[in-house]
């Protein structure tokens, strides 16, 4: 632990970094699978920020509301990810294409 910096602040900064990195990945990577992974990391960054907010209010216990939101968010993110993977697999099967640039 670095002096003067709390754990939750490290979480929040990490979340910000992850957010930027994954947005970069989403736009710069060509392959479908890499793009989908980038959206997963994007989700993780947002959830990490939410979790780090639980500590902010200097209560004895963590604030439960962000945790409830993260649970909901994870459920949504998992189904969106599964849907994206299924689509990518179907595209690959039908056309052999794995990036948006390929001409089938």
Q: Is 95 in the site for other proteins (CB under 8 A)?
A: yes
Query: Between residues 2 and 57, which has the closer beta carbon with respect to other proteins?
Result: 57
Q: In whole angstroms, what is the distance from residue 31 CA to residue 38 CA? A: 11
Shortest Cβ 26–other proteins spacing (Å): 6
**Measuring CA to CA, which residue among 73, 76, 72 is closest to residue 45?**
73
Shortest Cβ 72–other proteins spacing (Å): 6
Q: In whole angstroms, what is the distance from residue 99 CA to residue 78 CA? A: 22
Could you give the C-alpha distances from 90 to 33, 75, 82, 94, 104, in angstroms and in order?
A: 13, 23, 12, 6, 13
Interface residue list for other proteins (CB under 8 A): 19, 23, 26, 32, 35-36, 39, 42-43, 45-46, 49-50, 53, 56-57, 63, 65-66, 69, 72-73, 76-77, 79-80, 83-84, 87-88, 90-91, 94-95, 97, 100, 104
């Amino acid at each position: 632990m670095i002096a003067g910096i709390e754990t939750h602040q490290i979480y929040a900064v990490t979340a910000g970094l992850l957010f930027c990195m994954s947005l970069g990945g989403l736009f710069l990577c060509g392959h479908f699978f890499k793009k989908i992974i980038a959206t997963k990391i994007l989700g993780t960054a947002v959830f990490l920020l939410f979790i780090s907010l639980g500590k902010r209010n200097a209560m004895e216990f963590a604030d439960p509301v962000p945790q409830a939101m993260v649970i909901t968010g994870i459920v949504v993110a998992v189904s969106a990810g599964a849907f994206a993977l299924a689509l990518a697999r179907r595209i690959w099967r039908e056309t052999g294409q794995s990036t948006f640039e390929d001409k089938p």
